[in-house]
A and B are shown apart, each in its own frame.
Chain A
Amino acid sequence: MVLLLIPLALLPVLPKQRDAIRLPWIDWLPEDDAGTRLHVIWKILASVTIGLLVIGLAKPISPAGVIERVGRGAELSILLDRSASMDSQIRRKINKDYQSKQSTKTKNDIAREALSWLLNQRPENRYALTVFHVVAMRVTDFIDDIQLLQAGLDASAIGRGAKETNMGAALLSAIEGFDRRPYTGSRALLLVSDGGARLDKSTRSKIQQGLRRNQISLYFIYVKSGINNADLINTDLQTIGTNADSRSEEVALHLFFKGIGVPYQVFEADDELSMQDAVATIDQQQNLPLTYFQKTPGSDHSRLLFICALLSVTALGLLALVRLEKLN
């Protein structure tokens, strides 16, 4: 709407001048090229100033662009368990009487620290963060804004989560994040949880299809709560069988993942060190060339225009200093 005022810029070049001194007779005034040239400059400056101000007031914004960037790393969707059990501390062994009480960390702390390390180590990766307990909460879609991701991770430490976990919905939600995205590099879903789940048949089929369709590698970091948890890595399949419904929930989940047909790896973490090892391994495996598109915001040019207008007004002011406004 402001641009409708742009014809105002023509005011200074109109033949009828309101700021000229009016004399009854100008034929006896000598012709002067220098004066005529200065007057033309005066008019152009005035016109340009009005034009710049009007365009500046209209706030011209260049359209948002998309630039293609090539980096290394992967599209990594982090699925972090935020159920109440993650707030419990890792206990590997009971302290002896003579041992001082060791400061312990919650499973969530350890997971967050390891993930923060990953974020800072590979800022060029594209991350999506989803936390889940009863429901899945999408914190961010795929971005490379580490600060935002870190803030999301930090926020997951606040309060306590719900007791229940709905692993199936969380997995589906994380897989959905890959849908309708161009395939630009390796993709991985990183599930950090301290428990498993028995998934019903339809959910399992959806997860399987989703992972296959989107070509997502799956990493499962199993945060062990204590020494009595199942050992997924060293479990002999023969002893636990291949039935996904068998045994404990985490074994069931592990067996289900294993049978999907996408690259899958499980890590067990029962302290900070093993957690970091797991993350470092994933980082190594997923450090491949990655092409992605980054949106660049439209830039507002009004400030530049106002600065130009200011310069123009300054020039006009200098001319006005030597310009006669009246004769007597």
Chain B
Amino acid sequence: MNFISHAKLIDQPDPRRLDLRASIGSLGKDWLVRVNQQRVAITISVIVDVSPGMHFHGAFKKLEVVAHFLEALGYSAAALGDSTGLYAFDHKLRDDLIVPARFGRAVGLNLAQMIRGCSASGDSRKGIVSESRIAALGDCVSLAAETSSLVFILSDYHWSLDGLVSALDPLADALVVPVVVWDPVETEPPSGSRLLSVQQMGAAQSRHLWLTPKLKQQWVENVEQRKRHLSDVFATRDIKPFIVTNGFDCEAMSEYFMGLGLQ
């Protein structure tokens, strides 16, 4: 049992853990209880989307952001004795990017290295339909669900979200953290009134915009709407997505977990 912090008695109503000394010293004159944590090694699984869209290089390389996350996670997991595994998918399960959960100091670095060096598979360039993505994610989830207590799913979620929640069913016992990796280049319209021609990576769809202030406003609103939609979809399973738009930030991740009340 490790002491973690003090909490108000009203928040943690367990009088057996009252800390009188701390309560006397508290500025708010609150009754404080000790919050302890029992140290248990868990298995963490990271599911990474390596579809063409994730190979996008805007202000950041999306897969580089994922690699940073894996390094930080590996460091943290090694410190706490947790084992970490990796599963990747694009339009199908990527057999070459599967690492069963294991414990070690260099696990995070190794996984990051694998993700940095991975290539978009040949078939995935033809355009990926959402159904096959969901199916591939389902395969990853099935593999991870056997042992994992904490599952991170890193993707840009640039696909139809229908069927996503049901694909997460096997992870009912685990804590699922969807990490949404976006880039400022795709979420923030460029400045100035300019003609913009864009084509979707891995697909033939294209769109042409004359960037008026109204159109830019619409662009920003659409991004916000997508965020809300993602939150709503995950909220049905009491899951809160962690959205990364400016590179991976460890502090933000800590705050995210603090927000979940799991510190």
Smallest Cβ-Cβ distance to B51: which chain A residue: A24
User: Is B196 an interface residue, CB under 8 A from the partner?
Assistant: yes
Q: Do B219 and A21 touch (CB < 8 A)?
A: no
With A20-B198, A25-B158, A319-B195 known as contacts, the answer to whether A32 contacts B186 (CB < 8 A) is no
- For B53, the chain A residues whose CB sits under 8 A away are 24-25
B1 is an interface residue with CB less than 8 A from chain A: no
A68 proximal to B (CB < 8 A): no
A contact residues, range:
20 to 34
| A contact residues around B193 at 8 Å (CB) | 322
Report whether B208 and A39 are in contact in the complex, using a CB–CB cutoff of 8 Å. Answer: yes
- Give CA–CA (A187, B200) in the complex, Å: 80
**Residues 5-60 (chain A) with a chain B CB within 8 angstroms:** 15-17, 19-32, 34-36, 38-39, 42
Nearest CB of A to B233, in Å? 15
How many Å lie between the Cα of A29 and that of B197 in the bound state? 11
- Whole-angstrom distance between the alpha carbons of A196 and B122 in the complex? 98
| B157 (CB) vs chain A CBs: closest residue | A25
Residues of A contacting B27 in the complex (Cβ-Cβ under 8 angstroms): none
- Most chain B CB within 10 A, of A17, A25, A38, A42, is at A25
Given contacts A20-B199, A25-B53, A28-B223, contact A324 B156 (CB under 8 A): no
Q: Tell me the complex Cα distance, A29–B190, Å.
A: 12
Take A24-B52, A24-B186, A30-B218 as given contacts and tell me if A35 and B201 are in contact as well, using a CB distance cutoff of 8 Å. Answer: no
Q: Is B219 within 8 A of A25, CB to CB?
A: no
- Enumerate chain A residues within 8 angstroms of B183, measured Cβ to Cβ: 24
Question: Which of B58, B195, B222 is in CB contact (< 8 Å) with A29?
Answer: B222
B208 touches A26 (CB 8 A): no
B210 within 8 A of A: yes
Q: How far is the CA of A218 from the CA of B222 in the complex (A)?
A: 97
Whether a CB of chain B sits under 8 angstroms from the CB of A327 is yes
Contact A327 B58, beta carbon cutoff 8 Å: yes
- Interface pair B208/A32, CB less than 8 Å apart: yes
B residues 49-83 with Cβ under 8 Å of A?
A: 52-54, 56, 58-59, 62
Do A26 and B200 form a contact, CB below 8 Å, given A319-B195, A323-B194, A327-B58? yes
CA distance A31 to B197 in the complex (A): 12
What residues of chain B lie closer than 8 Å to A62, measured between beta carbons? none
- Give the CA-CA distance A327 to B53 in the complex, in Å: 16
Bound-state CA distance A20–B200 (Å) is 9
A238 — which chain B residues lie within 8 A by C-beta? none
A324 partner residues in chain B, CB cutoff 8 A? 190, 194-197
B197 nearest CB neighbor, chain A only: A20
- Flag whether A234 is at the interface (Cβ < 8 A): no
Main secondary structure on B side of the interface with A: mixed
Whole-angstrom CA separation of A112 from B216 in the bound complex: 85
Across-interface contacts of B222 in A (CB, < 8 A) = 28-30
Q: Which residues of A contact B196 (CB under 8 A)?
A: 21, 35, 323-324, 327
Residues of A within 8 A of B204 (CB): 15-16
B203-221 vs A, Cβ < 8 Å mask (1 yes, 0 no): 0111111111001001100
Cα(A322)–Cα(B208), bound, Å: 13
Does the CB pair B223–A35 fall under 8 Å? no
Asked if A328 lies at the interface with its beta carbon under 8 angstroms from chain B, I say yes
In chain A between 288 and 328, which residues have their CB closer than 8 angstroms to a CB of chain B?
319, 322-324, 327-328
Residues in A with CB closer than 8 Å to B194 are 322-324
Q: Is B237 an interface residue (CB 8 A)?
A: no
Complex Cα distance A319/B206, Å?
18
CB pair A17 B219 closer than 8 Å: no
* Chain A positions within 8 Å of B250 at CB level: none
Residue B226 CB within 8 A of the other chain: yes
A35-B156 contact given A23-B201, A24-B54, A327-B58, CB 8 Å threshold: no
A324 to B197, CA, bound (A): 8
A25 contacts B200, CB within 8 Å?
A: yes
Residues of B within 8 A of A42 (CB): 195, 197
Chain A residues with Cβ under 8 A from B215's Cβ?
A: 30, 32
Given A15-B204, A327-B58, are A25 and B199 also a contact pair (CB < 8 Å)? no
Q: In the complex, are the beta carbons of A28 and B210 less than 8 A apart?
A: no
Collect the chain A residues with CB atoms within 8 Å of residue B199's CB: 17, 20-23, 26
Identify the closest chain B residue to A27 (Cβ).
B158
Q: Chain A contacts of B200 at CB under 8 A?
A: 22-26
Which residue of chain A has its CB nearest to the CB of B195? A323
Chain A nearest CB from B250 CB (Å) reads 24
Bound state CA distance, A1 and B150, in angstroms?
68
A15, A17, A22, A38: the one contacting B195 at CB < 8 Å is A38
Q: Is the CB of A39 within 8 A of B197?
A: yes
- Distance to closest chain B CB from A104 (angstroms): 84
Q: Is B185 an interface residue (CB 8 A)?
A: yes
Distance (whole angstroms) from the CB of A180 to the closest CB of chain B: 65
Instruction: Say whether, besides A28-B222, A34-B210, A35-B209, A17 and B54 are in contact (CB < 8 Å).
Output: no
Kindly list 9 other residue pairs between chains A and B, CB separation below 8 angstroms, not including A32-B208, A323-B197.
A15-B204, A20-B197, A20-B199, A21-B197, A25-B53, A25-B186, A28-B222, A34-B210, A35-B209
14 contacts between A and B (CB under 8 A): A15-B206, A16-B204, A20-B206, A22-B56, A23-B56, A24-B52, A27-B158, A28-B225, A28-B226, A29-B207, A35-B208, A324-B197, A327-B58, A328-B184
Q: State the 7 A-B residue pairs at the shortest beta-carbon distance, nearest first.
A: A24-B53, A25-B158, A39-B208, A28-B222, A35-B208, A20-B199, A35-B209
CB within 8 Å of B: which residues of A? 15-17, 19-32, 34-36, 38-39, 42, 319, 322-324, 327-328
